[in-house]
Amino acid sequence: MSSPSKRRDMDVMKLMMTDYKVETIQDSVSHFFVEFKGPANSLYSGGVWRVRVELPDAYPYKSPSIGFVNSIYHPNIDERSGSVCLDVINQTWSPMFDLVNIFEVFLPQLLLYPNPSDPLNGEAAAMMMRDREGYERKVKEHCERYAKADDIQSQQEEASDDEDVDMSSDDEMDVEGI
């Protein structure tokens, strides 16, 4: 069995070898950003988000913290902090999962199948249940407004200009369980 640090390094390298753009912060394999595209055939299709990832020292035995940097309208994602309410990351995380699972399975499934009965964004959940067409319009408007590849590039440039990228704010990085 390999040590947690070797496993962390291996998982980050595995993620970097996929089609995802990974931007480390100060060359750290514990703090980085991933460019995540909305799943095809979903309301989020065409959207591009910058997702913060923070790996705890005990990773993979302890789940990573993830959060959307640019705004996304979804019942299970806090619009302000970007925190994600996803059971598999917080409650049922297993060392059998890796970072690629998060971006290829867990997040796409969350976007495809929101759970309005246990929301982090109450407004989005209520709208989804009461006015499905209005909800779908608002999701698409958010994608157009906040989730363009150009927006991601601007955020990357701002972050590289800011030498003091602080990812230590626990309340912004907390992952909520369903």
Mean pLDDT on 131-142: 97
pLDDT digits (tens, 9 = 90+) for 6-38: 999 999 999 999 999 999 998 888 999 999 999
Quote the pLDDT of residue 142: 94
**pLDDT score of 163:** 44
Within 8 A by CB and 6+ apart from 31, the residues are 24, 25, 52, 53, 54, 55, 165, 167
176 — pLDDT class (breaks 50, 70, 90): very low
pLDDT band of residue 152 (cuts 50, 70, 90) is low
* Contacts of 33 by beta carbon, 8 Å cutoff, 6+ apart: 22, 23, 25, 50, 51, 52, 53, 69, 156, 159
Helix ranges, 24-148 (H): 87-90, 99-101, 107-112, 122-130, 132-146
Domains of the chain: 4-157 (3.10.110.10)
Residue 165: pLDDT above 50? no
Annotated active-site positions, please? 85
**Tokens 């996304």 correspond to what residue?**
72
Please check whether residue 75 is in contact with residue 115, taking contact to mean a CB–CB distance below 8 angstroms. yes
Q: Whole-prediction pTM value? A: 0.82
